[in-house]
Amino acid sequence: MATVEAPTRPQIRLHEGPFVNEPLTDFSKEENARQMRAAIEKVRGQLGREYDLILGGKRVRTQDKIKSINPAKPSQIVGLHQKAGKEQVEPAITAALHAFESWSRTSVEERASLLFRVGDLLRQRKFEFCAWLSFEVSKNWAEADGDVAETIDFCEYYSREALRLAKTELPVQMPGERDTLFYIPLGVGAVIPPWNFPCAIMAGMTLASIVSGNTVILKPSSDSPTIAAKFVELLEEAGIPDGVVNFCPGAGASFGDAVVSHPKTRYIAFTGSREVGLRINKVAADNAPGQIWIKRTVLEMGGKDAIVVDADADLDAAVEGVASSAFGFQGQKCSACSRAIIDERIYDKFLEKLKVRVEKITVGDPAENTNMGAVINEGSMKDILNYIEVGKKDGRLITGGARDTKAGDGFYVQPTVIADIAPKSKLEQEEIFGPVLVVIKSKNFDHGLEIANDTEFGLTGAVYTKSREKIERAKRDFHVGNLYINRKCTGATVGAHPFGGFNMSGTDSKSGGPDYLYLFTQGKSVGEKIG
């Protein structure tokens, strides 16, 4: 009788040397542009495919479906997905619990090696993943490339961080003892990412979870499940064991809430709106029957981010920084500049220059590499247009102010600047999450900081000034998790700008930083008597 050989595990391979960020692609080089165009055509040929749920390695189909569409061409289906419901919760939890038994005991070297392999595979298919981002969430080439590069950075950075934590040494050894500190995994985690960074944030929270030894129920946004499906395919190719990551697109109100409230869920990693984040925090705080731990929540929520421009600032640099921060990826970043607070002495001059700069922005199909694509869906577009109408009454329209019908039948909104908005008003306080910038006049730098801080959020911010004294004041008094000086307030880089905010912007989780993996582990101190 023939014997069946057991499957061999992939060889452990650890990268040598310090962490280095993945280089961004220069699309002005024809070879890179050619590869991107080829990837777009390749992905175009794969649109409309149906994807299964993955529970413990098993493919599952459901009666209800999620239809992911191209925001730039709403008639175009990017992917058809199964819609997980309450009946999938127990199978998902069971699969993750079963996998946790072995994955939590897998060596940190093997777990880190998996992440390195995923990073290598992603490098090979960088353009292809960029193309998927263009189709599913309407990112232009540079925005898509930044998203994928950050995903590769997370593969490289979190694997190195896990290896570093495994070698933690205590500063004191008691006489006659061997004293050690271990960072052990938590258990089953729910990972609930947003649609705006559907590769980097989705993968980052998942990778941090699994390299720490946890297992995951991944519930991607219903606006961007295809990117997550492609990433899970990559994990499988890299050799991830069944059940370590369970792919479960589904409605937040049914499947999501049921996973969050389940007594065997150990933690929830979430990025998204303030409202949903607070709901998750509340549901997680309840002690369900049979639950023996306090659930941990890792929450990154919204922002109402401001750039304060002082009278002595380099005006051209400030205009460029504000425009890039406000309208990159259609203003759909939690770090986007939605408030420009300008010293009254340069206010009119700044608006003149800003109007010229913004009106150079091209809007259209991001697959053709325009500056701005479509906003994510019709509901979002309507909300943004409603905010614009309020702004027209409360302030002075400088440019934009309507749906962009010239760009096509997608969910396009003109880049919009509204000046003379008063502090504490609706547009100055509420997160719009679209290509709308409000401009507010300040009396001086101190008044500008006061306006910037007068919000429930505290995610990112920037100041433009030549004064060292004012820079130091901003470092001390501008209450945000990520502050930038004389540069834009978007574009946090892994390793350089650990990302996470204060107040209603979340739990200051600092993704891409040296303390992030602590959130996915718990410390276990062991004192062993020797001799």
Nearest by Cα to 353 from 390, 314, 381? 314
Q: Which residues contact 285 (CB under 8 A, 6 or more apart)?
A: 295
* Measured torsion, CA atoms of residues 152, 153, 154, 156, in degrees rounded to the nearest 10: 90
Cα–Cα dist 86/111, whole Å:
31
Contacts of residue 173, Cβ cutoff 8 Å, sequence gap at least 6: 179
**Cα distance between residue 236 and residue 56, in whole Å:** 12
Q: How many CB atoms lie within 10 A of CB 474?
A: 24
Q: Which helix (H) or strand (E) holds 269?
A: strand 265-271
Distance CA(366)–CA(363), nearest Å, equals: 8
Quickly count: other Cβ atoms within 10 Å of residue 287's Cβ.
12
CA distance 197 to 205: 12
CA 444 – CA 440 distance, rounded (Å)? 12
Question: Catalytic: 334?
Answer: yes
Q: Which residues are CB-contacts of 4 (< 8 A; sequence separation ≥ 6)?
A: none
What's the half-sphere exposure (Cβ side, CA atoms, 13 Å) at 380? Answer: 23
Distance CA 264, CA 102 (A): 17
Buried-exposed string 127-149: b where 16+ CB fall within 10 A, e elsewhere: bbbbbbbbbbbbbbbbbbbbbbb
Q: Which of 136, 300, 428, 431 is the catalytic position?
A: 300
**Contact present, 205 and 507 (Cβ < 8 Å):** no
Catalytic residue, candidates 155, 248, 334, 337:
334
Instruction: Say whether 171 sits in a helix, a strand or coil.
Output: coil
Catalytic positions: 300, 334
